[in-house]
Structure 1
Amino acid sequence: MTADGEATDREALVGGMVNAGAVFRTGARVERPAPPNALALHGHLHALKEHGFDAAPTPVALSADGREQLTFIPGNVALPPFPQWVMTDTALASVGSLLRRLHETSAAVGVDTRVKWPDDLADPEGGTMLCHNDVCPENVVFRDGHAAALIDFDLAAPGRPLWDLAMAARYWIPMVDPVSAAAFHPSGLVAPDRLRILADSYGLSSRERVELPGAVEQATEVCRGFVARRVADGDPVYVRALEERGGWERWDRIQNWLGAQRDTFTAALLS
């Protein structure tokens, strides 16, 4: 009940690893732990909306106890193991188009370089626009089989558009070896063909198509370093996930597979 005696339905939202069990929905609002740079991130989200990008949550409030409120975006969010509907070619193409819209708007908004943006998954080369850096299925809201919005901008940081696309490709193609893919993705996904679909729907240039496979390899190395730091710090969520998903042998297998498939991916992107 609220202070006025009105009934409230507080629903725990599942998904994700960092804030698992700490995200709740009440009506049209979502309450969750605020990132350290929440003020700057909220300003960026408001600027995206002012520039016409309506496919992200709108910040509502920031509390003194480290919680934030944002608008709830209705739709479907897929959780692993991922169902077939979120891995269709149509769904994949819509992710590429949505990411392109985000990048065009982010480029127009620019980025405040005075802010200490998180470097967990940030582009090592930096950039003049804010990348999402975590466009995984758990952070994309779908409606009628099409990507409608992006959520969870906590890891956003300056970078190149190509970097953000490479990060997204890791999850959506997926850019992992067949054994690793089988653990969370439907069977029958042909990685080179799907990478081409993502590049086409995004509108990737010829030069960037040549660079994309290498960017995916670089992004995979950064993601591995991110996990390694969390494990070294004793984070129980990442320690358990590493053990359950095959340990460092899995990461070795993925990286070796990416290197072996580089020419195949490049040929598919340029065909």
Structure 2
Amino acid sequence: MDEQQLTGGLANAGAVVRRGAVVDRPAGPNAPALHGFLRALRAGGFADAPLPTGEPAGGREQLEFLPGDVAVPPYPAWALREDALTSVARLLRRWHDASARTPFDPVAAWPGEFADPEGGPLLCHNDVCVENVVFRTGAAAALIDFDFAAPGRPIWDVAMTARYWVPVLDPTTATETARAHLQVPHRLRLFADAYGLSPADRLALPSVLEQTTAVCRTFVTHRVTAGDAAFTAYFDAHGGWARWDRLQSWLADQRPLLERTLKA
């Protein structure tokens, strides 16, 4: 059977292949627990995540291929539209509602890189980046790549996802990446509205965005320090630490405006 290398993302660059209806990819130490969770999700009626097709072996796992469109850099215009943004928020809410009904193994080796430091009652995806959402007929239809799934609070996953899809960028970076026309406060409120975020979580979201940004910076620091070639190349080509410093300073300055916009 012909192999097709699937592109997108940095963590498993070049290591994910499709063979017909099956995706073969690296498996983490938590794969048995994650596979059990994905099977329980499907049994509970949530069909918007892949089903494992076999048991993990040799550091690899096999999952069903979910057909559709996945945006990869340079991102197409449709991935930046407001209807794409709100459909991702609604998909994330469906995921959280289903995850809250589905038990998971609390002592499994869930990865900690992107995990909510406060823990939480359900399994969060933690990496709903643009490359990890499958679209069909113009709307977000499924989530893929659960390498960083871990227990957490829904608002943590909301903040992680909003970082990618709003996207949360300082004005300089937004201009450099041709996304200055995407207004962060407006799009963040659209995301919160479509998700159905509670008043208390709306108030907390700007602060949680700052926390998730700090966690992501720590993740990048570890990867770059370890000499990960893919991350180092991306880091060097996208502004290095100056970009992270600028974003974190801008987020702190914008917190009152974001709180007012989300509350309005």
Specify the alignment match of 2:122 in structure 1: 129
> Which segments of structure 1 move beyond 3 Å, counting only runs of 4 or more?
182-187
| 1:201 match | 194
Structure 1 residue 237: Cα displacement: 1.4
Which residue identity does 2:22 align to in structure 1? Answer: R
Aligned to 1:17: 10
Corresponding residue of 1:162: 155
The equivalences for 1:113-128 within 5 A come to 113-128=106-121
TM-score (norm 2): 0.97
So what's the TM-score if we normalise by structure 1? Answer: 0.95
Instruction: Write the distance in 2 (CA, Å) between the matches of 1:130 and 1:236.
Output: 30
Secondary structure of 1:147's counterpart equals strand
Q: Using a 3 Å threshold, how does the CA distance of structure 1 residues 203 and 244 change in structure 2: closer, same or farther?
A: same
Distance in 2, matches of 1:171 and 1:182, equals 16
RMSD across aligned C-alpha pairs, in angstroms?
1.2
8 Å CA contact 1:24–1:30 kept in 2: the answer is: yes
Does 80-89 or 35-44 show the bigger shift? 80-89
Partner AA of 1:54 in structure 2: A
Q: Measure, in 2, the Cα distance between the counterparts of 1:148 and 1:157.
A: 21
Partner in structure 2 of residue 260 of structure 1: 253
Change (3 A) 1:225 1:31: same
CA contact (8 A) 2:25 2:62 kept: yes
Alignment partners' CA distance in 1, 2:75 and 2:180: 11
Inter-partner Cα distance in structure 2 for 1:78 and 1:209: 28
Match of 2:97 in 1: 104
Matched residue, 2:143:
150
Percent of aligned pairs with the same residue?
Answer: 55
Cα distance per residue 1:140-187 (max 9 Å; x no partner): 000111000000001000000000000001011111202223444644
Aligned length: 264
Partner of 2:50: 57
Query: What is the deviation of 1:62?
Result: 3.0
Is the contact between residue 95 and residue 147 of structure 1 (CA under 8 Å) also seen in structure 2? yes
Structure 2 residue ranges without an equivalent (≥5): none
- Give the equivalent residue in structure 2 for 1:178: 171
Q: Distance in 2 between matches of 1:218 and 1:146?
A: 29
